[in-house]
Amino acid sequence: MSTESKERVVGVALCGFGRAGRIHFNGIRQNRHCELKYVVDLPKATVTVGDSTLKVGDVVRSVLAEHRMEQAKIVDGSKFREVLEDPTVDAVVVATPTDTHEHYVKQALIAGKAVFCEKPIAGDIEDTAHCYDVAAAVQQPLYCAFQRRFDPGYMKIHRQVRE
């Protein structure tokens, strides 16, 4: 009889592949307990990199290939519902433009997914509170990424490093 237990791997959908999305992508790919299932963005949209104009989907595809993660699917944001219907997706990371956070958060929670969202979760305190109410109602965690750069301890260390 084997005493070895299989470690649980969390299937993750990453919404947004811009600056914050790339940071979270690196965290996901470096965590052996996570498997990136989807990148949700606007694959046909273009982005300028240096003197080149590239499709977002091509950039994402290149990064996935660079890290041998081609199994992750690239999906347009308009098809987010299909991502949420995939039973292998356990959690959603929201790193899209700010005005879309609430939309992605609520849809993911209602679909029974855990959610980690860049700040702010919503446009105002009432809508943010409602997102947390939805999370409580569906018994799923909702985490907000928030850098504590104004925390007194952090500020003290920052001052010491600068001096």
* pLDDT tens digit at each of 163 positions of the chain: 444 557 889 999 999 999 999 999 999 999 999 999 999 999 899 888 889 898 999 999 999 999 999 999 999 999 999 999 999 999 999 999 999 999 999 999 999 999 999 999 999 999 999 999 999 999 999 999 876 666 677 778 768 888 7
Q: Which residues pair with 61 in a beta bridge?
A: none
- pLDDT of the residue at 160: 80
Mean pLDDT of the chain: 91
- pLDDT of the residue at 156: 81
Within 8 A by CB and 6+ apart from 35, the residues are 9, 10, 11, 12
pLDDT digits (tens, 9 = 90+) for 13-48: 999 999 999 999 999 999 999 999 999 999 899 888
Terminal alpha carbon distance of the chain: 59
CB atoms near residue 31 (< 10 Å): 13
- pLDDT of the residue at 147: 67
Within 8 A by CB and 6+ apart from 62, the residues are none
Tell how far CA 135 is from the center of its chain. 16
